[in-house]
Amino acid sequence: MNLDSLTHTSGEWLRGSGPESDIVISSRIRLARNLAAFPFTNRASSGQKSEIESMLRERIAKLDMEPKLSYLSVPSLSSLDRQLLVERQLISRELAAADGPRGVALVPQETVSLMVNEEDHLRLQVMRSGFTLDEAWQEIDRVDDLLEQRITYAFSEEFGYLTACPTNVGTGMRASVMLHLPALEHTKQIEKVFRALQKINLAVRGLYGEGSRASGHFYQISNQVTLGKSETGILNEIHGVIPQIITYERQARMSWLRDNRQGLQDKIARAYGTLCSATMMTSEETMDLLSSVRLGINLHLIEDLTIPTVNELFIHTQPAHLQKIVGTSLDGEERNAQRARYLRQRLREAGAHPN
Amino acid sequence: MKCQICGSNPATVHLTDIVDSHKKEVHLCQSCAEQQHLVNKQELNLPAILQNLIGQHLGPQTDELARLTCPACGIKYMEFRAQGRLGCPHDYEVFRGGLTPLLQRIHRSDRHHGKTPQRSVLPAQEQAELVELRRRLQHAIDREAYEEAARLRDLLRKRGSHG
């Protein structure tokens, strides 16, 4: 797999389609699995890790899956390429930064990724555009079944799938939905939503797993409990709350429009105008302005841009993507100048005419 | 702009020091800044938070628990307590007394309800024996006891790879 080609595209999960895609960016499910007859990754020697890696790699290659997975060995990637995969959410920060033999198997659409020798021997991930947890579950369940035919998983009737950290044991499943919630943040109702979610044991994090202040107003909502509930039980709990949050966000958008249409229009036009003409742009400001533009498209206040273009810009203006696109490493200030240049060019190509 | 210490990496950490109204600027790369202890390696140390949580909610620490060592992977209960990560699947059996209260606390349950592998799973005892054999093999390799290592490797091969 040629990583350079990734910078010309965006993964399926950024397609901006699927149910509720004005608010739900993507749905993601991750499963933690371990081999029965080996120590967990943190306790394995380098030799054992390489034995685990070659065994898993060989069995992954034989999976009856279309399209085929391609395997990348993480230690042989440059730090820029590792960062690129982190920015695309194909590998975790932990896998990028860890030591020893490890890797990731990917399908070209970037919907399926299998991490080898992360905290657990195997971390399966399926990611899709829009509110599509059920489809994501069907797909990851199928991949898990295929793997299980060739791999003896560490499993006990009592504790379920056994994992290195007791917070993942049982189903080993973490399901998350990424939401774009600019209006709830604007009206400061977001804190209330978080408190309610925490009460029912759902976690809230930012786009790249950061704490409560999410950049670009992107929030990931995921389950914390993995033991004692079935996979479908956990998914149903998430399914139960997401439509409500979507309704709150839509209501907040409508009342924002109703109460201060001019102010909102101005905010969006300024964001768009700045993106089209600024000559220095930090990553944080970019996320913030793109968030306003994304809101503007959904509210039909911007007509000449599409959601997939904006979704792509969120990722392509991240540091590693930007440096891959330019083809050279850039320091902070050069990067900000290049980011602004890239945004101007892309928005011009997309036919941007900010009013 | 290059780092002022190593002169090769791009400077990404920019510091301004004002002493007696004289402004001094320093431009460093991430790794040199870390070496100088000018920036924290990680802003939010999630593993540390998790370890803290695990330490707090494990069952009361008894002498009996404190003395436990997993016969399969060799991890001590106290090591698990400090690191928050188990050493092998068998630890769920060996450290059961400490883990059950923790699982109750995190998940409000200590019993799996969900997917079960369709293929028959490896009996717990056999899992543990294989992990132990692998540990002995690793020790033999580390000690350069190659005859012993070859014997253990044969033994593992006979019992199937169980990948």
Model pLDDT for residues A306-326, shown as the tens digit of each residue: 998 999 999 999 999 999 988
H/E element holding A69?
Answer: none
Task: Please give chain B's pLDDT, 163 residues, in tens.
Answer: 778 878 777 777 777 666 666 767 777 777 777 766 665 544 445 556 666 667 666 666 677 888 899 999 999 999 998 888 999 999 999 999 999 999 998 999 999 999 999 877 778 888 888 889 999 999 899 899 999 999 998 888 888 756 5
Query: Left, alpha or beta for A339 (phi > 0: left; psi -120 to 50: alpha)?
Result: alpha
- Best of B6, B70, B94, B107 to disrupt the A interface by mutation (most A CBs within 10 Å)? B107
H/E element holding B23?
Answer: strand B22-28
Query: What's the CA gap between B86 and A162, in Å, rounded?
Result: 10
Residue found under tokens 């509210």: A299
H/E element holding A83?
Answer: helix A79-87
pLDDT for position A14: 77
What is the average per-residue pLDDT within A113-138? 96
Are A130 and A18 within 8 A, CB to CB?
A: yes
**Coil, strand, or helix at residue A313?**
helix
pLDDT for position B112: 96
Higher pLDDT: A223 or A210? It is A223
What is the average per-residue pLDDT within A136-159? 95
Are B157 and B99 within 8 A, CB to CB?
A: no
Closest CA to A221 of A18, A231, A240, A232: A240
The C-alpha angle with vertex A111 and arms to A107 and A117, in degrees rounded to 5, equals 70
Are A14 and A25 within 8 A, CB to CB?
A: yes
Are A39 and B88 within 8 A, CB to CB?
A: yes
The size of the A-B interface in CB pairs under 8 A is 165
Higher pLDDT: B161 or A36? It is A36
Task: Spell out which residues of chain B touch residue A150, defining contact as CB-CB under 8 Å.
Answer: 163
Would an 8 Å CB–CB cutoff place A54 in contact with chain B?
no
Task: Spell out which residues of chain B touch residue A210, defining contact as CB-CB under 8 Å.
Answer: 44
pLDDT for position B13: 73
* Main-chain dihedrals φ then ψ at residue A223, nearest 5 degrees: -80, 150
pTM value > 0.80: yes
Pairing verdict, β A173-180 and A160-161: unpaired
Would an 8 Å CB–CB cutoff place A206 in contact with chain B?
no
Q: Sorting pLDDT into bands at 50, 70 and 90, what band is A212?
A: very low
What is the average per-residue pLDDT within A42-50? 94
pLDDT for position A354: 54
Q: Count of residues for chain B? A: 163
How far CA A304 is from CA of A55, A297, A313, in Å, comes to 50, 8, 15
ipTM associated with this complex: 0.87
pLDDT for position A210: 53
- Candidates A36, A170, A333; nearest CB to B112: A170
Higher pLDDT: A60 or A350? It is A60
Joined together, the tokens standing for residue A187 give 């009206």
Joined together, the tokens standing for residue B54 give 């695990």
Query: What's the CA gap between A117 and A38, in Å, rounded?
Result: 12
Query: What's the CA gap between B12 and A156, in Å, rounded?
Result: 48
Letter string b/e over residues A148-163, b meaning 16 or more CB atoms within 10 A of that residue's CB: beebbbbbbeebbbbb
**Coil, strand, or helix at residue A135?**
helix
Strand partners, A70: A106
Would an 8 Å CB–CB cutoff place A111 in contact with chain B?
no
Residue A191 has pLDDT above 90, yes or no: no
Higher pLDDT: B7 or A104? It is A104
Residue found under tokens 């299998």: A114
Query: What's the CA gap between B101 and A246, in Å, rounded?
Result: 37
Residue A5 has pLDDT above 90, yes or no: no
The percentage of residues in chain A with a pLDDT greater than 90, rounded to a whole number, is: 77
Task: Give the residue from chain B lying closest to A148, CA to CA.
Answer: B117
Would an 8 Å CB–CB cutoff place A237 in contact with chain B?
no
- Best of A34, A41, A43 to disrupt the B interface by mutation (most B CBs within 10 Å)? A43
Q: Exposed, middle or buried: residue A257 (CB in 10 Å: 0-12, 13-18, 19+)? A: middle
pLDDT per residue over A236-280, tens digit each? 999 999 999 999 999 999 999 999 999 999 999 999 999 999 999
Task: Spell out which residues of chain A touch residue B109, defining contact as CB-CB under 8 Å.
Answer: 170, 225, 227-229
Query: What's the CA gap between A182 and A292, in Å, rounded?
Result: 8
Cβ pair B85:A154 closer than 8 A: no
